[in-house]
Structure 1
Amino acid sequence: MRASRLVTLLLLLQNRGRMTARQLAEELEVSVRTVYRDVEALGAAGIPLYGAAGHEGGYQLVGGYRTRLTGLTADEAQAAFLAALPGAAADLGLGEALATAQLKFRAALPAELREHAERIRKRFLLDAPGWYSDADRTPYLAPAAAAVWERRATVLRYRRWRAPEEIERRVEPYGLVLKAGRWYLVAGGQSGIRTYRVDQILGIRPLEEFTAPEGFDLAAYWDRYLADFRARLHTGTALVRLTPEGARRLGVTPTSDGWTEARVPIESVDHAYGEFLRLGTDIEVVAPDELRDRIAATARTLAARYDR
């Protein structure tokens, strides 16, 4: 624990220059006395630093002492800082490790690239979850991540949408994917490779270690999974008429200043019913008849309810 703190203290001085003992203590969440001892330990280890007393005093590395990471372009340094998702790292129990890693990375960069990285950090924030949904409760995310990391088979208790709703399976976890703020576990089993929503996991019991299939590529699997999902997503079409506002909201190019007729893909009648109702009077469903009749019935019910 102390060794990690000493490294962090050194990197703070590399990144920020002169810092007082109190500033270091606040950053490291230790006492000022502990900082004094840590500074002495760094000096004894041969790190060239000195301390100055007084209001403008503090600790500082001598002669710009630092390690450097060579070979990075400005764009590469910016991309490295954009790639980090603090929320995801925290979910996995790696929030502190990510912060330390970024500190090390920033300390090792040459001055000009460090300025680029700092500008990116201040001007761009990646927030993956959507607006209108609360974060999923994932009490078994950490055990799932441990099983993935340790290549350990598990007995997975899982809730699914069809009967039987609760199942139990032996699976071999290959990887975790964060998609739109939601975690998915990719795992192999008797029926092949499957994808499980982590928030639907009801229990995990670790078993023996396993060997992942040779050549398995998590990113390639996920690309194929998404392609198959999209292919199954829109299996039908609906013929609709749209006002200019309705066309804009549905992503259809208007053909005139008035109504635009368009054929749009739909996942199902049930799904389209909910989506089209959101457009209110900016849409008229022409076909299929089942969808038109359901929306017409809803419109009549609403009209009667609000007719006073």
Structure 2
Amino acid sequence: MKSSRLVSILLLLQTRGRMTAAQLAEELEVSVRTVYRDVEALSAAGVPLYGDAGHAGGYRLLDGYRTRLTGLTTDEAEALFLAGAPGPAAELGLGSVLAAAQLKVRAALPTELRAHADRVSGRFHLDAPGWYAEAEETPYLATVADAVWNNRVLNIVYRRWRTPTDVERRLEPYGLVLKAGRWYVVAGPGPRTFRVDQILELATSDEEFGRPEDFDLAAYWEAYQRDFHERLYRGEAVVRLAPGVRMARAVNVRESTDGWTLATVPVESIDHALGEFLRMGTDIEVMEPPELRERLARTVAQLAEMYGNSSARGGH
């Protein structure tokens, strides 16, 4: 809608400063002609918005002009309070800052939007970590975050999974990512990804680094996760699934006449697949690869013998 687009233009100029019509059009996914019309509408409404010609030109707001957040829709207000993450904010040392910011935004909302925001806060709570995940100690998180913010080099001792396990690294921290309750720092050169809870020692530095202007943290993390899963599931198994049983990663799924489903499932390794499929009991039959099928048969036979002998011993 035009009204929400006008508010978006105001907020973009307010937060980013000078922007060209082309930049605004790209950000709002509209034509440059539409931006021209919107700017005229804002000027007619008394908004102190100015346009400068030339190569370095663009639109800007009069210095000191600020707009209140009265342009928030109900959905936007609800999403804002739903997105509040007090746990991670507190870990970063920003708990009180987040609370103060939400209080100010709440005070700026119209009465009806304030009521909607309060309902969301009272009815939804975000808890990212899984049930069986132990909370990792991250004593250096606040220091890493400070280095990310101020472009400061970090010298760390890091524990990795392969030998030698404890290694020294020089990091140029580009950004922090919270994934399933675990913090990761993305750092150059590379960039590379490190678990913050695996930092054993850390020394801050006065050395500054230049953060690459084209680095996009969200895009990097998406590509990193995709590459991680591709490296994780290097093999595949062909399985039969009992009626009504589904597997999230299954592909090439086709149902047979007896109600069982034949499917192909990506697997990390024979050992990992063995444990995963054993948990499914008689709901799954492995057809390929032969090595995995034989390992399962051998393990089941050993279990049967163990429990059979155990029953016999108990009878005596």
TM-score band w.r.t. shorter chain: 0.7 to 0.9
Name 2:29's counterpart in structure 1: none
- Structure 1 outlier segments of 4+, above 4 Å: 249-254
**1:189-200 pair list within 5 angstroms:** 189=189, 192-200=190-198
Q: Deviations over 1:56-78 (max 9, x none)?
A: xxxxxxxxxxx952211111111
> Counterparts of 1:186 and 1:119 in 2: how far apart (Å)?
36
Unpaired stretches in structure 2, ≥5 consecutive residues: 1-66, 312-316
Aligned residues of 1:174 and 1:187 also touching (Cα < 8 A): yes
Identity in percent: 63
> Counterparts of 2:168 and 2:68 in 1: how far apart (Å)?
51
Aligned residues of 2:254 and 2:263 also touching (Cα < 8 A): no
User: Alpha-carbon deviation of 1:249?
Assistant: 5.1
**Which amino acid is the alignment partner of residue 199 of structure 1?**
D
User: Alpha-carbon deviation of 1:270?
Assistant: 2.0
Identify which of structures 1 and 2 has the higher relative contact order when contacts are C-alpha pairs closer than 8 Å and 6+ apart: 1
Name 1:177's counterpart in structure 2: 177
Aligned residues of 2:239 and 2:264 also touching (Cα < 8 A): yes
TM (norm. structure 1) is 0.73
CA RMSD in angstroms, aligned pairs only: 1.8
**Which amino acid is the alignment partner of residue 135 of structure 1?**
A
Name 2:32's counterpart in structure 1: none
Aligned residues of 1:68 and 1:110 also touching (Cα < 8 A): no
User: Alpha-carbon deviation of 1:154?
Assistant: 0.7
Name 2:286's counterpart in structure 1: 285
> Counterparts of 1:206 and 1:301 in 2: how far apart (Å)?
55
**Which amino acid is the alignment partner of residue 220 of structure 1?**
A
Name 1:162's counterpart in structure 2: 162
> Counterparts of 1:284 and 1:129 in 2: how far apart (Å)?
32
Aligned residues of 1:240 and 1:264 also touching (Cα < 8 A): yes
The number of equivalent residue pairs is 239
User: Alpha-carbon deviation of 1:107?
Assistant: 1.0
Question: CA 1:168–1:85 in structure 2 vs 1: closer, same or farther (change >3 Å)?
Answer: same
Q: Deviations over 1:167-216 (max 9, x none)?
A: 11111000000011111000002xx1100011111111112122211221
Question: CA 1:251–1:228 in structure 2 vs 1: closer, same or farther (change >3 Å)?
Answer: closer
Name 1:129's counterpart in structure 2: 129
Aligned residues of 1:244 and 1:254 also touching (Cα < 8 A): no
Name which of 204, 207, 216 aligns with 1:206.
Answer: 204
> Counterparts of 1:219 and 1:128 in 2: how far apart (Å)?
18
Aligned residues of 2:236 and 2:264 also touching (Cα < 8 A): yes
Question: CA 1:217–1:294 in structure 2 vs 1: closer, same or farther (change >3 Å)?
Answer: same
**1:34-49 pair list within 5 angstroms:** none
Are 2:298 and 1:297 aligned?
yes
Aligned residues of 2:81 and 2:120 also touching (Cα < 8 A): yes
Aligned residues of 2:249 and 2:265 also touching (Cα < 8 A): no
Name 1:23's counterpart in structure 2: none
User: Alpha-carbon deviation of 1:234?
Assistant: 2.1
TM (norm. structure 2) is 0.71
Aligned residues of 1:237 and 1:266 also touching (Cα < 8 A): yes
Name 2:71's counterpart in structure 1: 71
**Which amino acid is the alignment partner of residue 122 of structure 1?**
G
Q: Deviations over 1:196-245 (max 9, x none)?
A: 01111111111212221122111111122122222223222101111124
Name 1:34's counterpart in structure 2: none
> Counterparts of 1:284 and 1:130 in 2: how far apart (Å)?
29
**Which amino acid is the alignment partner of residue 139 of structure 2?**
P
> Counterparts of 1:150 and 1:281 in 2: how far apart (Å)?
56
Are 2:218 and 1:219 aligned?
yes
Aligned residues of 2:241 and 2:283 also touching (Cα < 8 A): yes
**Which amino acid is the alignment partner of residue 172 of structure 1?**
E
Partner SS for 1:185: strand
Deviates more, 1:107-116 or 1:222-231: 222-231
Aligned residues of 1:69 and 1:110 also touching (Cα < 8 A): no
**1:48-59 pair list within 5 angstroms:** none
